[in-house]
Every structure is written in C-alpha cells, then in structure tokens.
Structure 1
Amino acid sequence: MPTLKAIAASTLSLPADNYIYSITASAPGSFAAISSDDSLRVFDAANIDHVSVVSHKTHDGGVTSLRSYPAGDSQLLATGGREGTVKLWDVRAGNAVLEMEMSRHSAVLSLACSPETNTIVAGSELVSSQAVVAFWDIRSPQAPRLQYVESHNDDITELQYHPSRSNILLSGSTDGLVNIYDTTVTDEDEALVQVINHGSIHHAGFLSDRTIFALSHDEDFAVHPATDPDEPGEGPEPVQFGDVREPLACEYVAQLCIGSQGPYMAAGNKIDQRLDLVPLVSSPAWQFDKDNTWRLPGAHGDEVVRAVYLDEQSQSVFTGGEDGYVRAWKPTEDGDAQSQAGSAKTSRKDKKQKDQGRFKPY
C-alpha cells in the first residue's frame, strides 16, 4: 500500500488544548486555518511554521466555517460565526473588509462563495423553526439580496456551488435533505430543482457537473445523479454504499476530497492511528478502489482528523486535527513512513497513547 510520510508538523502557534477546524487555500503557496480558539491564521505551504495571524478573535460567538474567496490579486477569506455574522477578510491588510448579518442573528454553520456573481451565501442553525439560506451581493452587503427559508427544517450544515454553473447551489441539512437550487429564481418553490433524501448531512457536494455525493453523520454514503429539468425522463439510479466504516476499515470519515485525479474518501482510524485516502472511481461503476489507497500512518495519533486538503501545486497533503497540529505529508518512494510518523503520536494534551493496532482489512 503506498504511503505518505509526515514531513512537517506545526501548532500554528495556537494556545495549548486547541484544535484545527478547517483548512482552505488562501493565496498561491499559502493556506488558512480556523481553530477552536476562534482565530484565523495563514501559513506557508513550504514552511508551515511560518504563520501569520489574521485575527485572534474572528467572531465573538465563535468561528464555525471558512471558505476562500478568490478575487484576482486580492487574498480574501470568508468566515461564519455563531453570533450570526459573515465576514470577508483581506489577508494582506489583516482585517475584515465586510460584515454581513443573518436575520434573527442565527448562527452561521456553512458558507459558499461565488466571485463570478459577487455572492457569499450562508446556511444557518435552526432558530424558531426556521433555517435560512441567505445570499449577499458583496457590493451591497447591508441586507441579503435573497433568502430561502422553507426548504430545510433543521441546521444547514453544507453549501456548495456547482463546479461550472454559478447559478446552481447545493445545500445539505441535518433534516436529511440535499437540495439543489437555481439561484436565478427568487420564488423558493420554483428555485428548488432537485431534492435528495439521504439522512442527517455531514458533507455533500458535486463530484462532477452531473454527479452529487451525500455523507451522513453516521457515515452512510451515496452517489446520486444530478437531474436536469430540461431533460424529461428518469435518470440513472443512485449508488447506495451504506455505512462505509466496515468496508473502509475506519472509525469515521473526515471528508471527501476532490483532486485532479478524482475524489478520495479521507477515512480515519484512531485506534490504529492512521488516515487513509481511498480513491472513489466511477468505472465500470461507482466503487472504492481500495487497492490504490494512500495511507498516512500515525495521522494525528489517537485524535480525530478534522481537516484534509490536497495541494497539487506542492504535491502535498495538509491535515489538521484535534491534537492541535497541522501536518504536511508527501509520498515516500519505499512506502515506509512509520519512522516519520513518530511525531504524529505526540499529543499536546499529554494523553496516554493507545496501542497502535495492526491494520487488518475486513
């Protein structure tokens, strides 16, 4: 089995007992991370100890979500907070250049950005029986230009724009639904072009222009065709994988990562202290290509990996975990990364480490 070796590890100068929530691209060669101390930090891909703090206190109520907002030469990042605001940060200036407020100050749980349409969209926590998908035009951010308030009846945990159609948005919720909207339509009922009933959504998104994935909080996974309202007739049936923990020999799924070679399921095992990147292939049918799994031995010790980013520019993988570290990984020619993984087993929480078990496929 091919392996990646840990070539660097950094706490990003976080205070002790904090951990990483999310990692996203910032500018070329740099990445941003949010963490449990509510800070927003940027680090260098070539030297992850080279860290700058954009904000020590990103949101008063706690930061929940992070997305890049690519806009020419500007280095912009969007964050959402539990106090009900969305902020757009200028990394170079080190300050928030815009702040937008949710109605009822409901907590922001998810974000998506569309620079092509100057739009930031946020999904809210359920408040007073209402969960909101709110759209802002950043050129006039005083109030949302559009809101969908009836399509979900629980927390909105995922938002993602279509990879090639800036008018199509996906939302996922703990109510079990994945919704697809045509955002050029203001009437909410007419804007909804597809509804998938899957189970409490942990992650969902587009695998391609015509394919959608859904992953529940209990690790149930499925691949669905995206319907085209202009093409009548039934499309192909969804592929239901069920609970992927046993077939992938994992305890949890961190996320699904998409690179130029296709999608990978990031599957973690705390007992065995490892993270596997398992390719998801579509030919001859949707399936996991377990024979070509990339293993990150040691991972983040016996702590959960919360964030995974595939950086094809540096040919690296960056992970963030509940041990409070960001780690950088690269392929190793001889396939033996165990000697490099020792640093991954040291915990800032000074916890007693569990015995490292041997991986046994089911």
Structure 2
Amino acid sequence: MAKIVESLKKLSVENSVCNGNIHNDRMLKKKNNFILAREEILSDNDNYALVVCGTQNDPEFRVAAALSDNSCVVYSIGESISHTTTLIHNESSIIGMKFSSSSKNILYMGTSDGIITVCDLRAKGRVIAEFKDNSDDGKLKPLTSFDISCDDKLLAGGTEHIGGDAFILFWDIRHSNSKANSKNNVLGGYWESHMDDITSLSFHSTKKDTLASGSTDGLINIFDLTQTSEDAALSYSLNTESSVDRIGWLNDDSLWCTTHTHCLQLWNCDGATPYGNFNRSSVGACQNEDPDSCYLVRVHSSNVFSHPFLIGGSSTAKGEHLRCLNIVNDSLDCCNIMLDNKQTVRDSWLHEKSACLITIGEGSLLNIWKPTDSPIIQQSAGHKLTAKMNSGKGRDKHHRTKPY
C-alpha cells in the first residue's frame, strides 16, 4: 500500500475545524417537524428513485436523483425548482452519487459495472473523467459503494465479493482519464479486511485519511490511510452481528449504522458493543406501527437541529407513512409524522443551510420538506416556490468473529 500512502502525502492539506459535533445535552432536544413544500414527479414510467445527493450551495442548490432505469435527473432548487438535465449514458445501475464539494457542476456517479464517472453539468452532463480498476485482464470489479474524502482529492470504491475477496479500491482524483481504453489509474486497494460485499463507505468529514467501511459480513472497519499496509491501517473493527446497509459519522469518533434487518446501531470507534442498539421492534414501537411494516432510510448527523435524527417509514394498508426520530445520547426519541408522503422512501438528503430535507422513493417522486418553523412554502402552477428555500484503536484480524 506504499503507493496509496505516498499519494496521500502529496494530497496533504490542513483540515478545517469541524462544526458538526453532536450536542449531547438533553436540554437541546427538540422536535423536528417537517411539512411537504413541494412534490416533483421524476419519471412517467414505472421507475424507482434509488439514490439522492445534493450540493450545499446557498441560496440555490442542486439535487440529483438516480432512477432504476439507470438514468439520473438533476434539479436546481431555490426560489423555484427547475429541471437542469437528465443523464442517460449509464449502462448499469447506479450504486451511488456525490457532488464535488468544490463545484455544484461536478457530479460523481458509481455504477455496478465497476466504473465511477465524473460528469460536468455545464456541458449537459458530459463525462469528463472515469475511474475504474481493469488490472485483472481488463475485467472490471463490480462496485457496490463509493465515497470521496473531505478534501475532494481521494476516491474510494467498495466492490462485491468476487474471487474470494472484497476490495476497497483507491484513486487519486487528480489523475484520471475519460477514455475507455486508458491505462489503469487505480492507486491500490485493500482486500483482507472484509469477507463479503462492501455495502457502504464513509470518509470522515474532517479527517481526510480516515475511512469507515461496512459490509454484509457484519463488520464496520475503520482505516487510517496514512499507514503503509492494510493490516496496519485497520484501526478498529466493529462487529454488528448483522448485515450492514449504511454507515456514517456522528461526530469525531462515533458512527451510526443501519442494517438490512432494519436495525439502528450507534458505535464509538473503540467500542466492543454499540452504545445504542435499536432493533426493528423498538423502532416500530417508536413509530407506533407493526415492526414488520417499518423500514429505515438514513441518519442525518447535521447540527441543524442540535442532534442527529433518523428518517424511517412504514408501509401499511392505510398508506405510506414517513417519520423523523430524534437521536439524543443513546436514546431514540418519539417521532414526528411527515404528512402527505405517498411512497416508500429509499433515500434522503439534507440541505444544511435551509434545513430542507429531500426524499425520493419507489413512487418516482422527489419530495421537498421544510421545518414547520420556517416560512410555509407553497407551490403554484408556474413551479414557483413562494418563499425562499434558504433560512437565514485495533484488533488482530485473526481473532475477529463472523456475525452468523
């Protein structure tokens, strides 16, 4: 892994101060009530909306939604909502998307065939760069996840379990080539730390050399990418005893995890067990619903509401319900219903400045939610929003146990 480490040294810059730490004082607890401000149909066909991402620009920001027909729809949202472009060049399903933190015009898209493309929205979504690993006689490794470091310079991709290994691949974003037959530009990879598909990757929000990975093998691994070998880089390995769906950072040294069995876990990096563990029954009880009908979407660790919150839902004979559940310390607080939801939600994204929440789902709808303490936003036939959207440490790998 010396190649990766050397590249990281070249990428080195001073980290900015993090302002997103969780405030654990229970006195800061307050309800997160959202109202539906806008609903947009993404596709007239029977497509699911699977993934959503956005930019943190202010006052106007962009949102991209990936559909089950491999296309991607991009909108600009501000005083009004407008369709920017539709990208249709993908030949395989989109497994993840992310905007560049330095430009609202640069969109990264990872696809299951093993390619991460970079699109320039100023040029109608033209592909300007491409990242892949074709070192195995030109055969690409199928991707299941990817993420970009906080300094926007290192790209990591997680693969399916193939040939007995599951890989985390690394690329230097500065060195790319959009030509399909270009030489392989991968820096290197890890392949000994996970035993199954790597479903989620999450770089730390301020520590550019810290990466967390989650897998269907039940492990959450945390790596220090400055180390010269994979074994040395593996700082912590957390056993969820389940199958990891999504992970993310809560603060400087703790993470959240949702599982494929619709459980929520909260972990300290050096924890032997999660300090917060909510199974599907307890999540259902918070929502006052039958646990079998409940699902989890995503945790948002924003400081907008002084504490993280979980977006969850339920599909019942009475309709599609969506709720916001507050996470304060190790507790899951009573939820607030988000009225007028019409679909099973698959993903969500939060605009920090305006506290505007975007959800997408199986009804091919993009919903824009605003907190109730913000000016009420109404829609008109002219696609106008009558109020502005903006308001003001390690373990020996040989002793790790499999979760099953």
Q: Give the TM-score normalised by the residue count of structure 1.
A: 0.82
- C-alpha separation in 1, matches of 2:170 and 2:269: 23
User: Which of 51, 54, 67 is the matching residue for 1:35?
Assistant: 67
Q: Is the counterpart of residue 125 in structure 1 residue 160 in structure 2?
A: yes
| Deviation for aligned residue 1:151 | 1.0
| Deviation for aligned residue 1:307 | 1.5
Distance 1:49 1:239, change over 3 A: closer
Contact 1:20 1:34 in 2 (8 A): yes
- C-alpha separation in 2, matches of 1:47 and 1:324: 23
More strand by share: 1
- C-alpha separation in 1, matches of 2:113 and 2:163: 16
Query: Match for residue 207 of structure 2?
Result: 165
- C-alpha separation in 2, matches of 1:74 and 1:223: 32
Backbone CA RMSD of aligned residues:
2.6
Alignment of 1:13-24 (within 5 A): 14-24=43-53
Distance 1:47 1:127, change over 3 A: farther
Contact 1:181 1:191 in 2 (8 A): yes
Instruction: State the identity %.
Output: 25
Secondary structure of the 2:283 match is: coil
Query: Match for residue 278 of structure 2?
Result: 241
| Deviation for aligned residue 1:64 | 1.5
User: Which of 349, 357, 360 is the matching residue for 1:320?
Assistant: 360
Secondary structure of the 1:297 match is: coil
Larger RCO, structures 1/2 (Cα 8 Å, 6+ apart): 2
Q: Deviations over 1:168-215 (max 9, x none)?
A: 000000111100001112311111000011010011121100111222
Contact 1:26 1:32 in 2 (8 A): no
Contact 2:308 2:326 in 1 (8 A): yes
- C-alpha separation in 2, matches of 1:200 and 1:2: 29
Greater Cα offset, 237-246 or 128-137? 237-246
Contact 2:286 2:333 in 1 (8 A): no
Amino acid at match of 2:174: R
- C-alpha separation in 2, matches of 1:84 and 1:207: 29
Contact 2:32 2:326 in 1 (8 A): no
- C-alpha separation in 2, matches of 1:157 and 1:173: 5
Distance 1:115 1:162, change over 3 A: closer
Query: Match for residue 96 of structure 1?
Result: 127
Query: Match for residue 273 of structure 1?
Result: 320
- C-alpha separation in 1, matches of 2:91 and 2:273: 46
- C-alpha separation in 1, matches of 2:104 and 2:326: 34
User: Which of 268, 285, 306 is the matching residue for 2:346?
Assistant: 306
Q: Is the counterpart of residue 262 in structure 1 residue 307 in structure 2?
A: yes
Greater Cα offset, 165-174 or 62-71? 62-71
Q: Give the TM-score normalised by the residue count of structure 2.
A: 0.74
| Deviation for aligned residue 1:146 | 2.3
Q: Is the counterpart of residue 174 in structure 1 residue 216 in structure 2?
A: yes
- C-alpha separation in 2, matches of 1:330 and 1:117: 29
Query: Match for residue 52 of structure 1?
Result: 84
Q: Deviations over 1:82-134 (max 9, x none)?
A: 11111112222221111111344122111110252611111111112211100
| Deviation for aligned residue 1:252 | 0.4
Amino acid at match of 2:327: L
Q: Is the counterpart of residue 209 in structure 1 residue 255 in structure 2?
A: no
Query: Match for residue 348 of structure 1?
Result: none
- C-alpha separation in 2, matches of 1:184 and 1:333: 44
Distance 1:314 1:237, change over 3 A: closer
Query: Match for residue 355 of structure 1?
Result: none
Query: Match for residue 9 of structure 2?
Result: none
**Structure 1: runs of 5+ lacking an equivalent:** 228-233, 341-362
Query: Match for residue 360 of structure 1?
Result: none
Query: Match for residue 287 of structure 1?
Result: 331
- C-alpha separation in 2, matches of 1:201 and 1:213: 11
| Deviation for aligned residue 1:54 | 4.7
- C-alpha separation in 2, matches of 1:173 and 1:186: 23
Q: Is the counterpart of residue 63 in structure 1 residue 106 in structure 2?
A: no
Contact 1:273 1:297 in 2 (8 A): no
- C-alpha separation in 2, matches of 1:327 and 1:117: 28
- C-alpha separation in 1, matches of 2:336 and 2:209: 35
